[in-house]
Amino acid sequence: TQLLEQSPQFLSIQEGENLTVYCNSSSVFSSLQWYRQEPGEGPVLLVTVVTGGEVKKLKRLTFQFGDARKDSSLHITAAQPGDTGLYLCAGSFTGTASKLTFGTGTRLQVTL
């Protein structure tokens, strides 16, 4: 059974601060995705990373995939209240490409 650990579980910061969320696994991902989920809604895909060492940027969000494809990070610069939500990483593993294994999530709250 592949497990994804996310840290921190909770994060409360003020507007303008930077933050990083981590996602780690003991197994190698064939691909990894980051999602954001708001209350009462399903997760919405932010990014997919496939290649070890890959870095992708989405406005103030920077996603990095570890060289060994066992870990990933999400960095938010100058957080805004609109960034508040549950951030989930989800991985696909070799042989189970269509089945996503989700992390436990990081609940982010950004206050004014």
Partner 1 sequence: GAGVSQTPSNKVTEKGKYVELRCDPISGHTALYWYRQSLGQGPEFLIYFQGTGAADDSGLPNDRFFAVRPEGSVSTLKIQRTERGDSAVYLCASSLGSGRSREQFFGPGTRLTVL
The position carrying tokens 């696994």 is 25
> Per rule CB under 8 A, is residue 96 in the interface with partner 1?
yes
Considering only the stretches 11-19, 58-66, 72-80, 87-95, report the one whose residues sit in contact with partner 1 under the rule CB under 8 A: 87-95
What single-letter amino acid sits at 68?
A
Residue from the set 44, 58, 68, 78 that interacts with partner 1 by CB under 8 A:
44
> Per rule CB under 8 A, is residue 98 in the interface with partner 1?
yes
Asked, as a colleague might, if the bond just before 8 is cis with ω within 30 of 0, I would say yes
Tell me which residue of 17, 7, 25 sits closest to 66, measured CA to CA.
25
Residue from the set 30, 62, 73, 84 that interacts with partner 1 by CB under 8 A:
30
